[in-house]
Structure formats: C-alpha cells, structure tokens
Amino acid sequence: MKITEEIIRKITLDTIKELGENATPELVKKIVNKAVEKLTSEIPSNNFEKPNNNFDSGKIILTAFGLNHSGIVSSISSILAEYNCDIQDITQKILQDYFTMIMIIDISDAKVKFNDLRDSLMKVAEKLNIKIFIQHEDVFKFMHRI
Amino acid sequence: MPYQFDEILETIKMTEVEHFDIRTVTLGISLRDCFDGDLLIAKNKVYDKICKIAKNHVKNAEKVSSIYGISIANKRISITPLSIPFDSYKSDQFLELALTLDKAAKEVGVDFLAGYSALVQKGFTNGEIELIKSIPYALSSTERVCSSVNVATTKAGINIDAVNIMSKVILDTAERTKDKDSIGCAKLVVFCNVPEDNPFVAGAFHGVSEPECTLNVGISGPGVVLQAIKEAGNVDLGSLSEIIKKTAFKITRAGELIGRKVAELSNIPFGIVDLSLAPTPAEGDSIADILEAMGLESVGAPGTTAALAMLNDAVKKGGLMASSYVGGMSGAFIPVSEDAGMTRAVENGHLSIEKLEAMTCVCSVGLDMVVIPGDTPWETIAGIIADECAIGMINNKTTAVRIIPAFGKKVGDKVDWGGLLGSSPIMPVRKLSSSVFLNRGGRIPAPVNSLTN
C-alpha cells in the first residue's frame, strides 16, 4: 500500500473536522505530517528487493601511505582495537622510504559508526603525517571481480 | 588476502589522483500528475512533489560517496518535459512554473534541474509553442533550470520550422543573459533523437515512458583512461582498445554500485548507467588529452575522428558488460569550453566547427558548448543545427547542439564562466548564407532507414 494524495486529503479533512474551531493552517499541517509519518513508518514502503543498507557492518578496506617511521602500525591498530574492529588480513610493503599498508577489517561488531571511525583515523593520519583511506569492501569487489 | 595489493592501490589511485568521480546521480521525477487548471495549485503540486521525492537526494548521495571513497560531482533532478503535463498553459504561466522549479531545486540543494522541455520533431502543440516562446525568459530569470527541445528524430525527420524558432530562441537567450557572457545558452540544448533517460544536464529530462521516479547515473573518468593509455606505452591499436575497455569496465562498475546504493537508500528504482566519458575543465580530465595521448599532435589533426571512434567504441564495449542497464547518451562527450584540452586546441586554431561536426558522427552529443560570435545571423545557427540533426537522423543516433552566440563578442574575444562550464575563445563561423534553404520551412521527411519494420 502506498500513501496516496487521497489518503492525505482524507486525513486532512478528518483533522479539520475533529479540531473544529481550533483548526489553524499550522496546526493542521503539523497533525497531518505526524499522521503521515506514522503511516509511512508502519508500511513497508515498496515491493522491490529490500537492500542491505547497513554500511556500518561488513568489511572495510583500510589503506595507509606515507614516509616510513616507527609506530604507524601500532597507532592504527590500537584505534581499531579500541573500537572493537576485527583486523582479518594485513599486508604491508616498504618501497624505498615509503610505507604502504592495506588492512581488511570487519566492522560488524564495532562500537563505532563508519563515519566516526573515519574521523578518528583521520586524526591519527594527521598526527603520523601519513594518508589513510577507508572504503567499504564492495567497491573493490565490484571493480575487480566479475 | 581476497584482493591483490595492486588492485587496491589502483582504485585508490583512480579516486585520489586521476579525478575519477561519478559525474552525476540524477533523480528523474514524473510531473504528469501535477497539472491543475489553477496555476497556483499546479505550482504547489510541482513544488511539493519535487521536495518530497528529492528531500534526501543530496544527503544520500553524499553518504554513499563517503562510504566508498568515490566522490559524486553532481546531484541533479530531471522532470517530465514540462510542455506535456501543462499543455494548456500560456507562456507567462510556464515562466511562473520555471520560477517554482528554480525554488524547488534550491530547496533540495541540487545545482541544476532539467526538463523545461518540449518534443516537437513532428510539429507543435499549442502548449509546446508557448513553452518554447518562454524559454529565453525562463533561462534568464532562473539560475538552476535547464531547457532542451527535440527537433528531429530518425522516425519523424527534421522539423525545420522548429530549428528556425530555436535559433531565434538561442539568440534571444544570449541577449537576455549578456551580463554573464550569455550563460543562458549553456543551459539550452537542441536535440535530434533525444534519449529519455539521459542523466546529463542540460539535456536531461524524465521521459514519458519512464516510471514515477527513477535514479540514473552518469559516470566520468577521462583522467583514468588517460593514465591507462599513458602507462600502456607504444602498443598497437588493438591492444590500446583492450586497455580502454578494461578501464571502462572498472569505472562503470563503480558507477553501477554507487547508483544502486543511492537508489536503495532513497528507496527509488534504479534506472540506467550512462557510459559517457564526461570531461571537466580540470587539467588531465580531458577527452582531448586522451586523443593526444593516443598519438595525435593535437585534437583536430587528421586521424582525430578515427581515434575518437575507437575510444568511444572501446568505452561502450567495456561498460556494456559492467552494468545491467545501460542507457542515456552513452558515448564520449566533446564539449569545447568544458574540456581544457579542447579549449586549448581551439585557442591554437587546430579545431574548427567543421571538424567538430565530423567528430560528432562517431561519439555522443554533438556540438557542445561551442561559442560563436554574437552577431551570427539566426539562419546560420539554424543551418548548424540542421546539419547536426541530419547526422543524428541518418545515423540513428543522438546528436545535439548547445551553441552560445556570445552577445557583443567577436572572434578573438573570450568567455569565461568558471566552474564546470569552463571558458572558451569565440570560434569563427562560415559567413556563407543558408537563408533561402531554411526559410523554405516545413519538415524534412523521415529518411529511408526509418522504415525498419
């Protein structure tokens, strides 16, 4: 079922009837909005496949680059540990003086939202003077696997 | 590790170094149920519907962009060609609607809303002629509304009367926006065989066969293709085409993923991915640079059309497998002002309108963002449009003209709009007259290749 204009019109008319003399445009608008919101939250909004929109779970890929110095891996992993993020795989290379690390991290049980995790990591990156990117795993799956 | 080190670095390099972004996620909204005899009610219906459906469009796009680390350059809206639901309206009423659309676009935070359009390839209805008359006023009094008019198709032929009217509309729009280098014309496209699901503004609209609402994606990525070609070195053309195909596959996959996720978040059906390489004025994000990396001294050199044909075809072949639904324009864009390499070629005198016309035979769009002298007669502009339409009509493809007769400017002058629209020198136009031919008016009949049944 979808909320059609007819339903909204009916709700509006009922509201006006109910309110009688007290009806003002603002009040009616407020009540109707509330009613419609309630209806939309109750009704499964459509019939096409329900997606997995929970970006705060699943695997993410962390990539870190920068001039090599001590403490990079430990600073990053301690943040991840603090938030209960599970490091599932890690690979690291040093090319001349440059440090590159890629981690696959499961954030399903993490105590943090994706964007907050990114903000924390950005602070670490700034302190260590390196670059850190985190991206949901899907983008790599889509681009590099058929 | 399920992914190779190089694969992950390649993706990061694309997004961070090579300007890879999703050019546009465009939300198509049908306004067919918004008609009302009372203009005020119609305006409210239009405004409310756009605001309701597009309320979270920008927010959702930004969220998806942040999760995947791929930026989405533009979030836009396309609507049903306005002349269709509001066919009984007069010019001044259309203008009022344009102002409402502008307000709605501002409210939901999109930079452009397209669909101030009419489809007149076979003739005009009363509403269509009224809408067309109002275009110069609408484009000069709004900031975000874009307009397009389809004047020809393979099945109907070329409506030369419409071509003539549109040429005058273009000149009028140029004059009315003369303070801003005739920017109004940058928001006005004349089409042949217009696609109904094109996500790229200014020519976007939500076609009559489309659903209630839908989300279409336009990919980008000339920078990524350029880098891949540079890294390939001296290989033969077959191998080069293979490299372009592989790159196009990857960027299209990313486009498909982003489009589907934004659509899911907004709870709107996903429409199509448009496989177009869309340049920007940013250095390195240029189709001209790609053609030059393929081995031409400059765009405009003999061989340009062949190189472009190969590039366009390879992008389609790669992209086709990457997406379940391909649509829109799907072809490389060759705008002059929006592509730094093209602008450079024009500045150096390497590129003429005639060469551009040849290039449009093998890629999408047509004469795009071409700036010509402001005193060009309407018959000449009509001739240019008719030529482009003929290419589209005979070859069963989309062609378009987005031409800017910069008011008060001559060959040797320059216009500069900044941002994504870029800048361009004024291109010379042939002074030969086509007046008698165009003043005959009427319609060029549909060609023999329209008889496919």
- Which residues of chain A make contact with B253, given a CB cutoff of 8 A? 142-143
- Which residues of chain B make contact with A134, given a CB cutoff of 8 A? 69
Q: What is the pLDDT of residues A24-67, one digit of tens each?
A: 888 888 888 888 877 766 544 444 444 455 676 689 999 998 88
Supply the DSSP symbol for B425: E
The answer to whether the CB atoms of A142 and B257 lie below 8 A apart is yes
- Which residues of chain A make contact with B3, given a CB cutoff of 8 A? 61, 102, 104, 140, 144
Residue B32 structure tokens: 């067919």
Interface of B with A in 210-229 (CB under 8 A): none
Q: Average pLDDT of B140-149?
A: 96
Q: What is the pLDDT of residues B209-254, one digit of tens each?
A: 999 999 999 988 899 999 999 999 899 999 999 999 999 999 999 9
Q: What mean pLDDT is reported for chain A?
A: 83
Q: Average pLDDT of B274-294?
A: 92
Residue B437 structure tokens: 């031919």
Q: What is the ipTM of this complex?
A: 0.79
The answer to whether the CB atoms of B253 and A89 lie below 8 A apart is no
- Torsion (CA) A56, A57, A63, A64 in degrees, nearest 10: 60
User: CB within 8 A of B11, min separation 6: which ones?
Assistant: A135, A139, A140, A143, A144, B250
Bigger pLDDT: A9 vs B377: B377
How many Å apart are CA B189 and CA B202, to the nearest integer? Answer: 7
Is B1 in CB contact (< 8 Å) with chain A? yes
Is A136 in CB contact (< 8 Å) with chain B? yes
Is B16 in CB contact (< 8 Å) with chain A? yes
| pLDDT value of position A2 | 63
| pLDDT value of position B316 | 93
The answer to whether the CB atoms of B264 and A51 lie below 8 A apart is yes
B284: exposed, middle or buried (C-beta count within 10 Å: 0-12, 13-18, 19+)? middle
* Residue B406, H or E segment: strand B399-406
The answer to whether the CB atoms of B68 and A139 lie below 8 A apart is yes
Q: Average pLDDT of B132-159?
A: 97
- Least Cα separation, residue B332 to chain A (angstroms): 21
What's the CA angle centered on B364, arms B361 and B368, to 5 degrees? 90
The answer to whether the CB atoms of A115 and B66 lie below 8 A apart is yes
Maximum distance among all Cα pairs of chain B, rounded to whole angstroms: 71
* Residue B74, H or E segment: strand B72-79
Q: Average pLDDT of B87-94?
A: 96
Q: What mean pLDDT is reported for chain B?
A: 94
Supply the DSSP symbol for B146: E
User: CB within 8 A of B407, min separation 6: which ones?
Assistant: B174, B175, B177, B178, B182, B374
Helix (H, G, I), strand (E, B), or coil: what is residue B448?
A: helix
CB B327 within 8 A of CB B195: yes
User: CB within 8 A of A14, min separation 6: which ones?
Assistant: none
Is B206 in CB contact (< 8 Å) with chain A? no
| pLDDT value of position A43 | 47
Q: What is the pLDDT of residues B13-71, one digit of tens each?
A: 888 888 888 999 999 999 999 999 999 999 999 999 999 999 999 999 999 999 999 99
- Least Cα separation, residue A70 to chain B (angstroms): 22
| pLDDT value of position A4 | 74
| pLDDT value of position B13 | 86
Query: For B256, which of A53, A135, A142 is closest by C-beta distance?
Result: A142
Query: For A45, which of B2, B265, B267 is closest by C-beta distance?
Result: B267
| pLDDT value of position A48 | 42
- Least Cα separation, residue B68 to chain A (angstroms): 5
Helix (H, G, I), strand (E, B), or coil: what is residue B227?
A: helix
| pLDDT value of position A47 | 42
Q: Average pLDDT of B87-107?
A: 97
- Which residues of chain B make contact with A142, given a CB cutoff of 8 A? 253-254, 256-257
CB B64 within 8 A of CB A134: no
Query: For B3, which of A45, A136, A140 is closest by C-beta distance?
Result: A140
User: CB within 8 A of A26, min separation 6: which ones?
Assistant: none
The answer to whether the CB atoms of A139 and B264 lie below 8 A apart is no
| pLDDT value of position A44 | 45
Chain A, nearest residue to B1 by Cα? A89
Give yes or no for residue B306 having a pLDDT over 70: yes
Q: Average pLDDT of B278-284?
A: 88
Q: How many CB atoms lie within 10 A of CB B387?
A: 18
- Least Cα separation, residue A95 to chain B (angstroms): 13
**pTM for the model:** 0.87
The answer to whether the CB atoms of B67 and A55 lie below 8 A apart is yes
Q: What is the pLDDT of residues B181-219, one digit of tens each?
A: 999 999 999 999 999 999 999 999 999 999 999 999 998
| pLDDT value of position A36 | 80
- Which residues of chain A make contact with B268, given a CB cutoff of 8 A? none
| pLDDT value of position B318 | 92
- Which residues of chain A make contact with B11, given a CB cutoff of 8 A? 135, 139-140, 143-144
| pLDDT value of position A51 | 43
The answer to whether the CB atoms of B8 and A55 lie below 8 A apart is no
Interface probe, candidates A55, A143, A146, chain B, greatest B C-beta count within 10 A:
A143
- Which residues of chain A make contact with B260, given a CB cutoff of 8 A? 51
The answer to whether the CB atoms of A139 and B69 lie below 8 A apart is yes
Chain B, nearest residue to A102 by Cα? B5
The pair phi, psi for residue B73, each rounded to 5°, is -70, -45
